[in-house]
Amino acid sequence: MLKTSLIFIGLALAALCLADLEVTTLHPWPELGRMIRGMAAPDLLSLPGIWRAFVNTVAFALCGTFLGVALGVVLAFFFEFTPVRLFCAFIRAIHEIFWAFIFLPIVGLNPTCGVLAIAIPYAGIFAKVYAEIRQESDQRPLQGTPAGSAALSRFLYGSLPVIYQDVKHYTAYRFECALRSSAVLGFIGLPTLGFHLETAFREGHYAQAAAILYAFYLLIASVRYWAKPRFILIPIVFAFLFLSKEIYFSVDNVSRFFTYDILPWPMRRQGMLDGSRAIAFPWQDIGAWTLAVLKQEGVEGVWNTVILTQIALAFTGVLALMSFPLACVHFMGRIGRRLAHGVLIVVRTTPEFILAYVFVQLWGPSMLPAVLAIALHNGAILSYLGSQNADLVELRVDAPQKRNNRYLYEILPRVYGQFLAFLFYRWEVMMRESAILGILGIYTLGFFIDSAFADHKLDKAILLILITAVLNMGIDTVSQVIRRRLKISTKLVTSSGLGLMH
Amino acid sequence: METVSPSGKSSMNSPTPIPKIKDTDCLFELQHVNVSYGQNPALRDITLRIREGETVAVIGPSGAGKSTLLNRLYEMRSDDCAFVHQQYALVPQLSVFHNIYIGRLDRRATWYNLLNLIRPRQPVIDEVMPILETLGMNEKISARVGALSGGQQQRVAVGRAMYRGGKVLLADEPVSSVDPLQGEAILDLIVNTGKTVIMALHSVTFARRFAKRIIGLCAGRIRFDLPAGQLTRELIDELYLTC
């Protein structure tokens, strides 16, 4: 484990030498001062349309999660089949924002776009996690049901009651994530909180931006009080009714998108020139076109995405290892722990994308804001999980009194394996995030995908999204191999921990 | 020679035809039966006949083949047999009512099972109530099984087998994880169901008290097969010490 850790730190240091970490803005510190002053004096009421954005944010998240659960449950039943597993890995390897980019040309800036952008990747995640929960649950009650019963009956009586609590907790946690995703989708123009947040930040109205953020925290904090299984169907129905007024879906658009718009340019060129819109198969040109995209954008995008991910991964680990004792019983008193937990909750509730956006405003687009944003958000999650695990450690009476020794000899060795497992679990998430932060002007894959969409080169954009997905699936596989080889697992953790892994 | 896959399902590829049951009371007849898990023989040369109404205890040290024998018997007449599971086969999150209902999950359509899961149906309640009375658990009908004591859980397991019905009650160490006092009460329930009972037991004392016939298994072979009254101290010592 130590060797693996050192290798990853070495990789991160090497990446650090190659990364562009420059501060390009002229006056970052006065700007930060203005931001802090804005944070201290939030102003919500002067924002027209903010309530509508609130309702939209919640409605997108509700409908997206609902559809994601519905599809995910079906997929989870067939998860042992390799094609299903690969399909799920593929749809969840593409970030919500990329899905939104894909749906934008099909349905336009429309609730359908937002809901599907959440529902599709979430379906892949739900399928995987539900299937894992089922596999790891106690099988004996299921085996106790009569063998001749229908499979669905056996599941309903022998399996569902056993896994229900875990499934419920995970789904609730995912709904919270969906609220974050929904808000962030506003940054690309959908009518959610992110839209107003972006406007406020761009125009320097930090008091308004602060107000929206605070309101968002309150919204997230309120979830546990109203998102209850018995009651949740009512808001879901309302959300669908609310959005249905604007739902737009054209089969023609969908089929044109998939059968024409995204085909490589050489296939469409001849038909475009003579006006017939016919499709041709000039294999050599298609090959040359693909190679050109790979050379011009693919290689640079992948390289920067990987560099950013590796720095962020190591930095997240270091940050979490340094900060978890602050929230742990064995190191801090009650008040200190409360304070630490408060900070951790705020940091992990803020989406990476928003953190990165703020940092880019301060320092200009480079890897510096991206690394900080990813490491802070993920570090806060890992720190929380680390402290939870460390709290479970029972120390002997004669354990070292000095905190340094206690940390190094008693706590760290006991929690490190699980900690690494969590960190590698988040690796894929960090890579997805690194790619997406490109749309803020950092030269990762997202930058090139965003540019391609802006130029209406859908073929190029889709090819680059496919590359991103494959890269993600690759990292997911490497992460699994490392976890298996180190024999570390995230088990023995409460279901709240299970939720935060993804 | 029969082979049994680890899942417990046997594939019959014996060249000898299954012997006809001659006397009408006879429920099970095994003649020179071998069962093995992969390479490891679990039962060797078992010859055995069990009649309707008998109360049989199978004893022997761990790994002697008690569970394998019970599974083999279950497969011979699975329509007629109900298994008393150990309490861990119950669903702790469900009510006593639902756990007993699981005994007949295969007899009803899935949609009916779903409805009954969401809201217990009156006809089913009427079927389950008499069983709960026998178990002495009338008031516990809607209690969560996970909240019950070990002994009560084991009663529910007996209740499930009773609800399943059939002529034969098979029980694999039904009282090994409850205290002796509870164990007595539960075995009392089992032997008084009026069915043919075949149970694997850990405790020789219980076997002698509750069974009329005792089979001693050792390394997959029948060491003795006697009426309970004829079992001697020497036989038991031999079974547990030399095995």
What are the tens digits of pLDDT across the range A425-472? 899 999 999 999 999 999 999 999 999 999 988 999 999 999 999 999
CA within 13 Å, CB half, A240? 10
Say whether residue A230 is in contact with chain B using an 8 A CB cutoff: no
Per the CB < 8 A criterion, the answer to whether A65 and A175 are in contact is yes
Kindly state the average pLDDT of the residues B130-139.
90
Asked if B105 and A157 come within 8 Å (Cβ–Cβ), the reply is yes
| pLDDT for the residue numbered A243 | 87
The mean of the pLDDT values for chain B is 86
Q: Residue A334 in 3-state DSSP?
A: helix
| CB interface of A with B, residues 102-161, below 8 Å | 138, 140-141, 143-150, 152-154, 156-158, 161
| pLDDT for the residue numbered A491 | 57
Q: Which residues in chain A are closer than 8 Å to B78, comparing Cβ atoms? A: 147
Kindly state the average pLDDT of the residues B17-24.
55
Q: Is CATH 2.70.98.40 correct for A48-145+153-261? A: no
Asked if A145 and B105 come within 8 Å (Cβ–Cβ), the reply is yes
Per the CB < 8 A criterion, the answer to whether A400 and A331 are in contact is no
Asked if A157 and B104 come within 8 Å (Cβ–Cβ), the reply is no
- Count CB atoms within 10 A of the CB of residue A106: 21
pTM: 0.84
Q: Which of B149, B174, B161 is nearest to B99 (CA)?
A: B161
Per-residue pLDDT band at B17 (split at 50, 70, 90): low
| pLDDT for the residue numbered A40 | 85
The three-point CA angle A64-A70-A76 to 5° equals 120
Asked if B94 and A157 come within 8 Å (Cβ–Cβ), the reply is yes
Q: Residue B121 in 3-state DSSP?
A: coil
What are the tens digits of pLDDT across the range A218-245? 999 898 888 888 888 899 999 998 888 8
Kindly state the average pLDDT of the residues B32-39.
82
| Rg of the Cα atoms in chain A | 24
Per-residue pLDDT band at A490 (split at 50, 70, 90): low
- A215 pLDDT more than 80: yes
What are the tens digits of pLDDT across the range B188-228? 999 988 889 999 998 899 999 999 999 999 888 899 999 98
Query: What is the C-alpha separation between A389 and A383, in angstroms, rounded?
Result: 10
Kindly state the average pLDDT of the residues B69-75.
89
Q: Is the ipTM of this complex over 0.90?
A: no
| pLDDT for the residue numbered B8 | 41
What are the tens digits of pLDDT across the range B88-120? 889 999 999 999 999 999 999 999 999 999 999
Q: Which of A376, A492, A502 is nearest to A428 (CA)?
A: A502
Handedness of CA A184, A189, A192, A197 (dihedral sign): positive
What are the tens digits of pLDDT across the range A377-389? 999 999 998 898 8
Q: What is the β-pairing status of strands B55-59 and B196-200?
A: parallel
- A81 pLDDT more than 90: yes
Asked if B113 and A162 come within 8 Å (Cβ–Cβ), the reply is no
**pLDDT over 90 percentage in chain B:** 44
Which residues face B84 on adjacent strands?
B171
| pLDDT for the residue numbered B130 | 93
Q: Which of A152, A126, A154, A135 is nearest to A70 (CA)?
A: A126
Place of tokens 């009392």: B188
Q: Which residues in chain A are closer than 8 Å to B94, comparing Cβ atoms? A: 157, 161
Query: What is the C-alpha separation between B96 and A29, in angstroms, rounded?
Result: 66
Q: Minimal Cα–Cα distance from B200 to chain A, Å?
A: 17
What are the tens digits of pLDDT across the range B135-189? 889 899 999 999 998 889 999 999 999 999 888 999 988 888 888 888 898 999 9
Give the helix ranges, DSSP H, for A19-159. 28-40, 50-77, 82-93, 96-107, 111-136, 140-143, 151-154
Of residues B182 and A76, the one with the higher pLDDT is A76
DSSP 8-state assignment for residue B95 = B
Asked if A157 and B113 come within 8 Å (Cβ–Cβ), the reply is yes
Q: Residue A133 in 3-state DSSP?
A: helix
| pLDDT for the residue numbered B11 | 44
Strand ordering across the sheet containing B2-4: B10-11, B2-4, B26-37, B40-51
CA-based nearest residue in chain A for residue B9: A147
- Count CB atoms within 10 A of the CB of residue A376: 21
Q: Which of A359, A56, A363, A90 is nearest to A181 (CA)?
A: A56
In chain A, what are the domain boundaries? 1-41+282-495, 48-145+153-261
| CB interface of B with A, residues 134-173, below 8 Å | 164
Asked if A162 and B90 come within 8 Å (Cβ–Cβ), the reply is no
For residue B122 the two structure tokens come to 């009156």
Give the helix/strand (H/E) hosting B199: strand B196-200
Give the helix ranges, DSSP H, for B88-224. 96-101, 110-118, 122-135, 150-164, 180-191, 204-210
- B9 pLDDT more than 60: no
Q: What is the β-pairing status of strands B2-4 and B196-200?
A: unpaired
Q: Which residues contact A212 (CB under 8 A, 6 or more apart)?
A: A44, A47, A50, A193, A196, A197, A200
Whether the domain at A1-41+282-495 and the domain at A48-145+153-261 fall into the same CATH topology: yes
Of residues B41 and B198, the one with the higher pLDDT is B198
What are the tens digits of pLDDT across the range A46-61? 677 888 899 999 999 9
Q: Which residues contact A279 (CB under 8 A, 6 or more apart)?
A: A260, A263, A267, A268, A271
Asked if B90 and A144 come within 8 Å (Cβ–Cβ), the reply is yes
- Nearest by CB to B117, which of A138, A143, A156? A156
Q: Which of A120, A92, A124 is nearest to A106 (CA)?
A: A120
Cβ–Cβ pairs < 8 A, chains A and B: 63
Q: Which residues in chain A are closer than 8 Å to B114, comparing Cβ atoms? A: 152-153, 156
User: Topology of domain A1-41+282-495, per CATH?
Assistant: MetI-like fold (1.10.3720)
Asked if B91 and A158 come within 8 Å (Cβ–Cβ), the reply is yes
**pLDDT over 70 percentage in chain A:** 97
| A contact test, residue of B110, B115, B118 with most A CBs within 10 A | B110
Say whether residue B113 is in contact with chain A using an 8 A CB cutoff: yes
Query: What is the C-alpha separation between A186 and A351, in angstroms, rounded?
Result: 12
Per the CB < 8 A criterion, the answer to whether A223 and A419 are in contact is no
Q: Which residues contact B212 (CB under 8 A, 6 or more apart)?
A: B54, B55, B56, B227, B228
Q: Minimal Cα–Cα distance from A291 to chain B, Å?
A: 53
| B contact test, residue of A133, A139, A140, A166 with most B CBs within 10 A | A140
| pLDDT for the residue numbered A29 | 84
**pLDDT over 90 percentage in chain A:** 51
| pLDDT for the residue numbered A429 | 92
DSSP 8-state assignment for residue A395 = P
Handedness of CA A158, A162, A167, A172 (dihedral sign): positive
- Nearest by CB to B113, which of A141, A144, A153? A153
Asked if B105 and A149 come within 8 Å (Cβ–Cβ), the reply is yes
For residue A242 the two structure tokens come to 């609310």
Longest dimension (CA), chain A: 86
Number of residues that this document lists for chain B: 243
CA-based nearest residue in chain B for residue A157: B102
| pLDDT for the residue numbered A256 | 84
- A90 pLDDT more than 80: yes
In chain B, what are the domain boundaries? 92-164
Q: What are phi and psi of A362, to 5 degrees?
A: -80, -45
